[in-house]
Amino acid sequence: MRGLQSLAFDINCFIPNTSESSVYHAIGPLSRVMSRMGTTLTIALLALAVAALMALPHASAAITARDLGTLPGYTSSEALGINAAGQVVGTSSDMESQSRPFLWDDGVMTNLGTLGGSRGTAHGISNTGLIVGESEDATHTMHAFVWEDGAMTDLGPGVAFAVNDQGQAVGCGYPTSPAPPCHAVLWQAGRMTDLGTLGGHSGSAYGINNAGQVVGSSLAPDGFMHAFLWQNGTMTDLGGLPGYQFSVAWDINDRGQVVGSSYGDDGTTHAVLWENGGVRDLGNLGGRAATAFGINGAGQVVGISFSADGRMRPFLWQDGVMTVLPTPGDTVGAASDINEARQVVGGRYLYTPGSTPDAPPVAVAFSVAAVGLAGATFASYHARRSFRPHKSPNRR
């Protein structure tokens, strides 16, 4: 209403100061008084037209944070992945020796179990419901897994971080021996493929899109980890910001945009976006470090950044602007992944944007305005016509 009142005030200020035609002033003193009544009615009808326009659905920037809770008997949770249906995966733990991978779906958190050990984490979920992660086996060795339809399948020693809708999973595995170093690998149909390195002896894959493009980091000949893009059997060094020493790529969307972090020549870690052959610094929240973990098809990015007060904050970056995601009680938080509906997960929270119905069609907006203006014009004309001086019968 404050916006409507202000706009009505502006209209009121504008109309009385608008130049009026000579015909308007020729009506006579009484008609001028009555025409002012017409102007008042015009203002009222214009205000109603504006009110109708403002009452049409419009976008809201509000974001709410929902606590996902924990598995029964556990005290903490960390959400790491979300798919298009809003299903969330992560880990719930007792903050000591026990943890379990979970699937959260519409308020219900399900324990996915383990491969026989006491610890496990679900890292990613596809739009088809495939879940990948890591779990201890009975010998307390960490193994990668894929979970589907209630069954957990052992992929061998390692960690699976992401999976696409074609069932291709990527992570860190041991294609040549069961012992380190770990290599970036791809699992498909029960088979592991070594993606190679950038010249060093180790690496890991963290993200994959539906085109089968894979991103991660690999040890390079300079002794530092470098971000990479792997596609069609070739691994390419993505580099980093000017003066960088290390970089890592965490996620890739179906448009081929890649996000991660890069060390800068200022001695701090920056959240970055790789696209069109270049790298872009996404900025920070005022602190000295930031990293980007997830990106959706619209190019919206989430991650964490330290703020000016030294606290770690979850952020959403879009259209060149980085904003803080609200955490209940203004606590520290994280943002790990984002889906196409702009739902974000991180820490123990699901962040959901406010209602964002489509904007009214242009024709509807103009129709509402036209009705108001037409009514205002008719009222003004009717007032002037009704009080126009009549010809005197004595005049020739």
Residue entry with tokens 């809201």: 60
Query: What one-character DSSP code corresponds to residue 213?
Result: -
Q: How is 258-274 classified by DSSP, letter by letter? A: EEEEEE-TTSSEEEEEE
Residues 6+ apart with CB under 8 A from 180: 174, 202
Residues 6+ apart with CB under 8 A from 75: 93, 94, 95
How much is the pLDDT for 33?
33
Judged by phi (left if over 0) then psi (alpha if -120 to 50, else beta), residue 326 lies in: beta
H helix or E strand, kind and range, residue 331: none
pLDDT tens-place values along the chain, 396 residues long? 333 333 332 323 322 333 333 322 232 333 333 333 344 444 443 343 434 433 333 333 589 999 999 999 999 999 999 999 999 999 999 999 999 999 999 999 999 999 999 999 999 999 999 999 999 999 999 999 999 999 999 999 999 999 999 999 999 999 877 778 899 999 999 899 999 999 999 999 999 999 999 999 999 999 999 999 999 999 999 999 998 989 999 999 999 999 999 998 888 999 999 999 999 999 999 998 999 999 999 999 999 999 999 999 999 999 999 999 998 887 778 999 999 999 999 999 999 998 543 444 444 343 444 444 444 443 443 433 343 333 333 333
* 146 vs 242: CA distance, rounded Å: 38
Q: How many CB atoms lie within 10 A of CB 282?
A: 21
How much is the pLDDT for 209?
98
Structure tokens at 132: 């990948």
* 321 vs 255: CA distance, rounded Å: 20
Q: How is 218-287 classified by DSSP, letter by letter? A: EE-TTSSEEEEEEETTEEEE---STT-S-EEEEEE-TT--EEEEEE-TTSSEEEEEEETTEEEE---BEE
Q: H/E/C letters for each residue in 117-140?
A: EEEEEEEEECCCCCEEEEEEECCC
Do 158 and 172 form a contact (C-beta atoms < 8 A)?
yes
Q: Is 13 helix (H, G, I), strand (E, B) or coil?
A: helix
Do 230 and 215 form a contact (C-beta atoms < 8 A)?
yes
* 246 vs 89: CA distance, rounded Å: 29
Do 220 and 209 form a contact (C-beta atoms < 8 A)?
no
* 124 vs 159: CA distance, rounded Å: 11
How much is the pLDDT for 355?
57
Query: What one-character DSSP code corresponds to residue 115?
Result: B
Structure tokens at 28: 């006579």
Q: How many CB atoms lie within 10 A of CB 390?
A: 5
Residues 6+ apart with CB under 8 A from 277: none
